[in-house]
Structure 1
Amino acid sequence: MAVENFPALKVVANGSTFDVLVEMAQSAAKAQPHKNSSFTRLAIHSAGVYTSGQLGSVVRYCPSLFEIIIEVKVGFTDTDLFCLTSLKNLQILKLVFHQQSNNGREITFDKGLVPVLKVIGSSLKVLYLSYFQFVDIWTIVKFCPNLMALAFENQCQSLSVLSEKEVIELRNEKGRVYFKDLKVLRCGYNLSNDILFDLLSSPLLESVDIDFCDALTDDLLQNVMANGFLKNLKLLRIESCRLVTKQGLDELAIKENIFKKLSIYFCEKVTGDNVFEWQKIACDQNWELNIDFKSFGNEHININV
């Protein structure tokens, strides 16, 4: 009723919205003249069975989409994604798991998403790729230079659609900032030191979330900060980063800047004593700082200074 009776409607937050839009799109396609929806944001949590082609019909019916969140489930294909290239206003794209997903085998990064990024990547501001177990960061750097937020899991250069020469040029381009507008970053796992350094060198970073990453070391953090980066960082969350210690985190935790929250989970070289030391310094300096700490021994410390 809402979709039918409110022509200026832009957002409906409901788990069945996509299924309703599929029906509306099919009816609109038969009508003369064709009618379009004014929807700008769409979360695809398909309640029913997804049939290949449904996304395309909805995209044609909603040409003004600004944000799309897709819970990828059985039935989605690489071909389905290509319809996104017609969305000239799309700035936010999130691909996440649906409980009915077939272990990440519905769509692929290189054959499904990359052809989309080639066309509309430069207009994207937010790209969350938790659906894919592996992505290629160099492809994202090449086609999505204007990102403000990026989240991905593992790096795998074999998925790159770039030539070896293009990747080498990207790696060796001195003075280049890969994401000059990036404010939010979530990454980790098998990142190399040079890739993590380049990502953390995005000058506007405000929030960083790093998981299971041996590339995160004291030397790397100190090197990043010595080069003048992480000055805008407000939030840092690290989990299971086994090589970083208090020494590497000191400058962030006790430097008089805009840093607000430090979350450390299961990082074996950081201790509760370190947390209390940071707390004392923050109290003495009258800084606003929240520290959330969990260790393998079920120790949980949450401190607001």
Structure 2
Amino acid sequence: MEKLENSEGIRVCINENLTDDELRAILSKLKTDKDKEGFGLVCKRWLHLQSTERKKLCARAGPLMLKKMAARFTHLIELDLSQSSSRSFFPGVTDSDLAVVAHGFDCLQILKLQNCVTDAGMVALGNGLSYLQSLDISHCRKVTDKGLEAIAKGCNLRSLNLAGCKFITDKLLQSLAENCSSLEELGLQGCNKITDMGLAILVNGCRQIKSLDVSKCNNVGNAGVSSVSKACSSYLLTFRLLDCYKIGDDSIFSLAQSCKNLETLVIGGCRDISDESLKSLVLACNHSLKYLRMDWCLNVSDTSLSCVLSQCRSLEALDIGCCEEITDMAFRNIGSEGFESRLKFLRVSNCPKITVSGIGVLLEACKSLEYLDVRSCPNVTKVSCYQAGLQFPDCCKVNFTGSLSELDAVVDIFL
């Protein structure tokens, strides 16, 4: 290593004069990953320090490589071993891999394992990772209650994503209630064996839940939502109920009565929800509600939508796609309460009664609009907007064409 001159003109070697703590202080000042990697290329000592200070790692590795990583990255907090369902690698993450993770990465707090692993691996993690706070095993279709009960008992979970884990039942929710009182986020999308009874048991022990996703859970209805809203009233910020066809007005009235701080609500596909309950929710959460997805709510009309647009001061994103009764009248009172609309994302796709006139009113009030979806709106086309002289904000992307089944990854904030 090159020697530098000190203030007295004497040439000194950095490695002979700087302690490990001083080098770590230098490393902490580097902002980018590229700079930190460059730090580790100076010499073996600096590489060792850079490795031991690394907190996050995304990898594809078998047991041998994982052991080497565990020896090198001794203070790792976050590890991502998940694989894409479309580009999976064989054999993927195995139970023996997870045994290495459980014994080698003992400081781990965040672990992502989407599309892989089984119960045996979950048991190993539960027995070895006592500091684990966040676990994402979405779409791990072989995992059952048995493996996850070991996680609930052995880890200090605050966040758990089980989306697509079709074998999960109310039995696991009971185990979470008994062992994970600090649980704040739970994703149960597509877990069809979950019932209202399970949710009631869950929130009896887990009363600090901030985010709950029970989308596409066909056995969840008004009773389950009511249990959650009452037990978690002070904490609940995000509730996703996409395509829960048993959800109706009773659920929304319950949320309105108990959850005054709700920021995100997804009720797309809940076709029994009507104007009256939605208006009650808006009046209760008008200062907090930021994201509202209510596509395919066929009983919703201009009355409730006008209330949403005129009352929700913090609203940033709204999806009313396929609400066929919505007309231009829904936009007439937007911003009428004397506040400037913060709306950035709006989907009105497949709303046949909305015209260019309504979009014009919208543009006048929503100066912050960044994305507007008007696909399959026969009265709102690129040509008709041009002929009407509509001026869209420079930063606004307008989606006039394309299939309604196509997801826009850039703005699909609801899923």
- TM-score, length-scaled by structure 2: 0.56
Equivalence map 1:211-290=2 (5 Å) = 211-228=321-338, 231-253=341-363, 257-276=367-386, 281-282=391-392, 287-290=394-397
Distance 2:253 2:169 in 1: 32
Instruction: Name the CA shift for 1:51/1:14 in 2 (closer, same or farther; >3 Å).
Output: closer
Asked if the contact 2:190/2:214 (under 8 Å) is kept, the reply is yes
1:292 aligned to which of 399, 410, 414: 399
Instruction: Name the CA shift for 1:280/1:24 in 2 (closer, same or farther; >3 Å).
Output: closer
Distance 1:278 1:5 in 2: 65
* Residue matched to 1:112: 224
- Output one character per residue of 1:140-190: Cα deviation in whole Å (capped at 9) or x when no partner: 2112221111110335369xxxxxxxx79x86x9x9454321111111422
Which one has a larger percent strand, Structure 1 or Structure 2? 1
Instruction: Name the CA shift for 1:268/1:120 in 2 (closer, same or farther; >3 Å).
Output: same
1:189 aligned to which of 274, 298, 321: 298
Asked if the contact 1:22/1:57 (under 8 Å) is kept, the reply is no
Distance 1:46 1:6 in 2: 24
Q: Partner amino acid for 1:113?
A: V
* Residue matched to 2:134: 11
* Residue matched to 2:109: none
Asked if the contact 1:243/1:269 (under 8 Å) is kept, the reply is yes
Q: Partner amino acid for 1:6?
A: L
Moved more, 54-63 or 253-262: 253-262
Asked if the contact 1:216/1:244 (under 8 Å) is kept, the reply is yes
RMSD over aligned CA atoms reads 3.4
SS in 2 for 1:291: strand
SS in 2 for 1:281: coil
Q: Partner amino acid for 1:93?
A: L
Q: CA deviation at 1:128?
A: 0.9
SS in 2 for 1:226: coil
Distance 1:194 1:281 in 2: 27
Instruction: Report whether the alignment pairs 1:180 with 2:296.
Output: no
Distance 1:209 1:138 in 2: 20
SS in 1 for 2:362: helix
Instruction: Name the CA shift for 1:230/1:256 in 2 (closer, same or farther; >3 Å).
Output: closer
* Residue matched to 1:128: 240
Q: CA deviation at 1:84?
A: 2.6
Instruction: Name the CA shift for 1:179/1:18 in 2 (closer, same or farther; >3 Å).
Output: farther
- Output one character per residue of 1:180-219: Cα deviation in whole Å (capped at 9) or x when no partner: 2111111142213332222232110011111222443212
Q: CA deviation at 1:292?
A: 1.0
The runs of at least 4 aligned residues of structure 1 exceeding 6 Å deviation read: none
SS in 1 for 2:374: strand
Instruction: Report whether the alignment pairs 1:139 with 2:254.
Output: yes
Q: CA deviation at 1:231?
A: 0.9
Q: Partner amino acid for 2:175?
A: S
- Output one character per residue of 1:1-20: Cα deviation in whole Å (capped at 9) or x when no partner: 44333322222322449947
SS in 2 for 1:107: coil
Q: CA deviation at 1:77?
A: 2.4
The higher radius of gyration belongs to: 2
- Which runs of 5 or more structure 2 residues have no equivalent in the other structure? 1-98, 103-124, 404-415
- TM-score, length-scaled by structure 1: 0.75
Q: Partner amino acid for 1:132?
A: C
Q: Partner amino acid for 1:90?
A: I
Q: Partner amino acid for 2:263?
A: M
Distance 1:268 1:240 in 2: 8
User: What is the aligned-residue identity percentage?
Assistant: 23
Q: Partner amino acid for 2:398?
A: I
